[in-house]
Amino acid sequence: MALHSAIKGKLISVIGDEDTCVGFLLGGVGEINKNRHPNFMVVDKNTPVSELEDCFKRFLKRDDIDIILINQNCAELIRHVIDAHTSPVPAVLEIPSKDHPYDASKDSILRRARGMFNPEDLVR
Amino acid sequence: MVADKVDKEAAGQLLDAMYLDMFHLIEEHTQCRVNLERANASGAILLARTRFQAGGCNSVSKAQIPTENSAEFNALCRVIKAKDENEVNIERHAVDKANGYVEPLHWFSVLPPMSLRHAVTKFRDCIELVAESTNLQRQLTDVLSWISQLRQSMLKQ
């Protein structure tokens, strides 16, 4: 079944807790492609960090994904991988979850911005 | 000597303008995330209400969503480039089972309760906010790279 031929636009992928994934899938972002690769991953307390990291790297490599949504608490576990990704595509958005409210001080892009007006850098 | 001073002043003014842009974008970015958090929390409450009404915590859970072994299907929501090439929009495809566009609500229930339908509306709002947030994040990334380039060139002078 060639369901994926000539589809316009790119996907939003989701890495997060059950409610985040179920919610965004209800919203219609979920897809399973012809290689049976889903664009979402449900993370629970038993999910190993290596699995999370592999999934994130796999999403980064896929050229049909434009936005990666990741719960901020999951992003904290793989912060080094997220900080290493500086390309604008795919955009990595750290979103809050039910149990973990949004913390701007942890957001990768805002941390980069804060580094821009660090007083120590401006002295010269 | 005078030309050098004028150049430096102009670069300084440009840097000031870009810092101002950056602060505005940070404010909008944070506001957008707060709105996203609010919509997400409302959706989560409605999911919880659906579970409560259905009398089981597994009525709306990951057990119902498709896995790698499920049949292939297409996303109803896709990210498309806006008229302004640097921005993105969300395009929603109509449900068309024959072409692989399935209704996600039907994974959870044949006759979805009202609370689940309201939850869908909230999560659709979240997806719109995600597009808005992506645009702001990309603008912010551009401004940050311009600032660092300008600062590098000013330091070399």
Residue A62: CATH number of its domain = 3.40.50.10580
Cβ separation A33–B72 shorter than 8 A: yes
Task: Report if residue A120 sits inside a domain.
Answer: no
Which range of residues forms the domain containing residue A55?
Answer: 11-112
Q: What residues contact A89, with CB distance under 8 A and at least 6 apart?
A: A66
Name the B residues in 61-90 with CB < 8 Å from any A CB.
61-62, 64-80, 88
Task: Report if residue B135 sits inside a domain.
Answer: yes
Query: Is B147 within 8 Å of chain A by CB?
Result: yes
- Count structural domains, chain B: 1
Task: Report if residue B99 sits inside a domain.
Answer: no
- Could you give phi then psi for residue B76, rounded to 5 degrees? -80, -25
Task: Report if residue A105 sits inside a domain.
Answer: yes
Task: Report if residue B127 sits inside a domain.
Answer: yes
Task: Report if residue B102 sits inside a domain.
Answer: no
Q: What residues contact A1, with CB distance under 8 A and at least 6 apart?
A: A34, B72, B100
Task: Report if residue A82 sits inside a domain.
Answer: yes
- Count structural domains, chain A: 1
Which range of residues forms the domain containing residue B23?
Answer: 2-72+115-156
Query: Is B57 within 8 Å of chain A by CB?
Result: no
A37-70 b/e with 16+ CB inside 10 Å = b? ebbbbbbeeebeeeebeebbeebbebebbbbbbb
Strand A65-71 versus strand A91-95 pairing type? parallel
Q: Which residues pair with B5 in a beta bridge?
A: none
Task: Report if residue B30 sits inside a domain.
Answer: yes
Give the pLDDT of residue B57. Answer: 62
Prior bond to A119 cis, omega within 30?
no
pLDDT per residue, tens digit, chain B (157 aa), is: 667 777 788 888 998 999 999 999 999 999 999 999 999 999 999 999 998 887 766 678 888 888 888 888 899 999 998 877 778 999 999 998 888 899 998 888 888 889 999 999 999 999 999 999 999 999 999 999 999 888 888 777 6
Task: Report if residue B9 sits inside a domain.
Answer: yes
Task: Report if residue B94 sits inside a domain.
Answer: no
Task: Report if residue A89 sits inside a domain.
Answer: yes
Task: Report if residue B132 sits inside a domain.
Answer: yes
Complex prediction ipTM = 0.87
Task: Report if residue A54 sits inside a domain.
Answer: yes
The pTM for the full model equals 0.88
Give the pLDDT of residue B28. Answer: 95
Cβ separation B37–A101 shorter than 8 A: yes
- Could you give phi then psi for residue A22, rounded to 5 degrees? -60, -45
Task: Report if residue A118 sits inside a domain.
Answer: no
